[in-house]
Amino acid sequence: MGVSRCDQSPHWALLQAHFNASGRDFDVRQAFATEADRFAQWSVAAPELFLDLSKNRIDAPTLDLLLQLARDCGLESQRDALLAGAPVNLTEGRAVLHTALRAPAGAGLHSEAVQASLSAMLAYAESVRDTARSGITDVVHIGIGGSDLGPAMVVGALQAYTQPGLRLHFVSNVDGHDLAGVLRDLQAPTTLFVVASKTFTTQETLANALSAKAWFLAAGMRQADVARHFVATSSNTAAAAAFGIETTFGFWDWVGGRYSLWSVIGLPIAIAIGAENFRSLLAGAHAMDEHFAHTPLARNAPVLLGLLDVWYRNFHGFTSRSVAPYHQGLKRLPAYLQQLEMESNGKRVDLQGQVLPYATSPVVWGEAGSNGQHAYFQMLHQGTDVIPVEFIAVKKPNFGPHVQGELARGLADQHQKLLANCLAQSQALMQGKSYEEALTEQAPTASKTLAPEVLARHRSFPGNRPSTTMLLDALSPRSLGALIALYEHRVFVCGALWGINSFDQWGVELGKALCNKLLPRLSNGDAGGLDGSTAGLLQKIL
Ligand SMILES: O=P(O)(O)OC[C@H]1O[C@](O)(CO)[C@@H](O)[C@@H]1O
């Protein structure tokens, strides 16, 4: 049966009944005790990564119902429509075709245009990388949201693949401290600015670009130099030209902002890691696209993750999910995922505009491990909320060619510690520590005067806290491409079941409009007609 929303499927009610009967009390520890092959049953090999779902509150009957729910919602036909370029972004009347950007030459939609755009962008990136000829030592990428987070996250993750002597900087915030901090150590003659904005109307980006240009000219450069030192990436080439930028790498309206790192918006990535590595990034993502398109739902990694998200959000009522990448290079991944997931699925009406009676996007948050362990993991282990955690571990480190000898041995040892920490955290979340165990334990730092029973209650852990572990062999352009595409498709799966448009972002418009109205008041001091709080704050600022 085909329904446009998950709650219209009979399996929605069946899932609720199943949750009430057994799902609520599901204990992962018991599941491991009774299912000898639980790890094998609940792990999946997908391109470039291995997914261990076994520490989640899931069993075969639950998955079966979730799969039936997905089929009722037409997940496969919705996926096929997305990949075929149907206008699935209903409210903007657009196709959503980031997958076409990573299809091999000759395959995929718009292939000719995509390959031409890619080749031009990569050729330019290579010319910048030829620092002896280009004279460029620093590239400042100016953009925000989807025109910043993806490139910044990928460049950070692939540091080991970057070229010495060519530094990438990312400026996004309208707060001038961001640009000022970056410009402090730069020289105008050796700096290239890339102004990235799909619409080329974004306040933050245009303000930073104007200030960057003013700094450039004030440093003794001529107007004629601007052409060589400022380029743009945008789907609004006319606006970029009107802004005074001669060279713009264009792209299409069917590339959503938060899905745009695969397009010319990825220029800083290509400058950082080179054309060949950029193509590997695309190839890794394409491999995941193929997995998503052709693997049966029950073994399809993004589908399984998406179904688990629905199970946790709509039945268990978990309000957030924490992402813990155990690789310092992935420290910006949580921020990137916040836009990908929360801008995509932070919606409250269905495709017909009807208010939804169920929850959609969870809060997504996190920090690189092991740092997070010393900040918020206390709450994950003993707090009152259950928050599923997603661990990302990388088997082999790659510190770069400068790491040799004793340092290499020391850092390899640190990597073992990192992996042990990662495994230990998911183990501790699941295992917990019973009151009885805590009672029998000696804790050297514990109070000697407090009753042991009271102490044991403070020192016990409930356990049964769910987690997923994603394992990558190495953090390479290819594996990172696959990882990002996995997340993109998982977000799509959730949106498809929830019956929402995952590809618009009207929710950010109101704040933008009000900001434009407030801006002159900060100069003229007029607080007339404002609400009491905003008027009061304005007067305090002035
Ligand atoms: O690339 P642009 O057009 O400057 O937009 C930047 C970002 O602003 C948003 O429109 C809203 O925050 C995002 O969707 C987008 O990624």
pLDDT tens column, 175-220: 999 999 999 999 999 999 999 999 999 999 999 999 999 999 999 9
Q: What is the pLDDT of residues 20-73, one digit of tens each?
A: 999 999 999 999 999 999 999 999 999 999 999 999 999 999 999 999 999 999
Asked whether the predicted pLDDT for residue 373 surpasses 90, the reply is yes
Measured torsion, CA atoms of residues 404, 405, 407, 409, in degrees rounded to the nearest 10:
110
pTM of the model as a whole: 0.98
Structural tokens at position 290: 């193929």
pLDDT at 332: 98
Q: Show me where the domains of the chain are located.
A: 6-72+295-397+409-438+451-498, 98-279, 510-541
Look up the CATH superfamily of 6-72+295-397+409-438+451-498: Glucose-6-phosphate isomerase like protein; domain 1 (3.40.50.10490)
Q: What is the pLDDT of residues 471-528, one digit of tens each?
A: 999 999 999 999 999 999 999 999 999 999 999 999 999 999 999 999 999 999 999 9
Given CA atoms 369, 370, 376, 378 in this order, what sign does their dihedral have? positive
The DSSP 8-state label assigned to residue 374 in this structure reads G
The minimum-distance atom of ligand 1 relative to the CA of 258 is 16
Return d(Cα 382, Cα 384) in angstroms, integer.
7
- From 508, 512, 515, give the residue whose CB has the most ligand 1 atoms within 8 Å, as the site to mutate: 508
**Average pLDDT of span 145-153:** 98
Q: Considering only the C-alpha atoms of the chain, give the largest distance between any 2 of them, rounded to a whole number of Å.
A: 78
The minimum-distance atom of ligand 1 relative to the CA of 149 is 16
Ligand 1 neighbourhood includes 149 CB (under 6 angstroms): no
| CA-closest residue to ligand 1 atom 16 | 146
Q: How confident is the model at residue 443 (pLDDT cuts 50, 70, 90)?
A: confident
Ligand 1 neighbourhood includes 4 CB (under 6 angstroms): no
List the one residue out of 136, 131, 124, 244 whose CA is nearest residue 189: 136
The minimum-distance atom of ligand 1 relative to the CA of 343 is 14
- From 149, 265, 505, 509, give the residue whose CB has the most ligand 1 atoms within 8 Å, as the site to mutate: 505
DSSP string, 235-264: S-HHHHHHTT-SEEEE--TTS-GGG-TTTG
Question: 10 Å Cβ neighbour count for 286?
Answer: 23
pLDDT at 149: 98
Return d(Cα 356, Cα 351) in angstroms, integer.
10
State the Cα angle at 80 between 315 and 304, rounded to 5°.
Answer: 35
| CA-closest residue to ligand 1 atom 11 | 508
Active site residues: 343, 374, 512
Fold match, 6-72+295-397+409-438+451-498 / 98-279: yes
**Average pLDDT of span 349-369:** 98
Return d(Cα 406, Cα 200) in angstroms, integer.
49
- Residue 198, CB-side half-sphere exposure with 13 Å CA sphere: 17
Ligand 1 neighbourhood includes 233 CB (under 6 angstroms): no
Q: How confident is the model at residue 14 (pLDDT cuts 50, 70, 90)?
A: very high
CA of 340 to the centre of ligand 1 (A): 12
Average predicted confidence (pLDDT) for the chain = 97
Q: Where are the alpha helices (DSSP H) in 159-294?
A: 176-183, 203-218, 223-229, 237-242, 267-273, 275-294
Q: What is the pLDDT of residues 255-290, one digit of tens each?
A: 999 999 999 999 999 999 999 999 999 999 999 999
Any long-range contacts for 103-112 (C-beta under 8 Å, 24+ apart)? Answer: 103/286, 103/289, 104/283, 104/286, 109/84, 109/85, 110/252
Q: How confident is the model at residue 442 (pLDDT cuts 50, 70, 90)?
A: confident
Sheet with 467-474, side-by-side order of all strands? 43-46, 49-52, 467-474, 389-396, 320-326, 363-366
Q: Is the peptide bond before 370 cis (omega within 30 degrees of 0)?
A: yes
Q: What is the ipTM of this complex?
A: 0.98
State which fold the 98-279 domain adopts: Rossmann fold (3.40.50)
Q: Which residues contact 405 (CB under 8 A, 6 or more apart)?
A: none
Q: How confident is the model at residue 1 (pLDDT cuts 50, 70, 90)?
A: low
Which residue shows structure tokens 């959730």?
A: 494
The minimum-distance atom of ligand 1 relative to the CA of 234 is 1
pLDDT at 2: 84
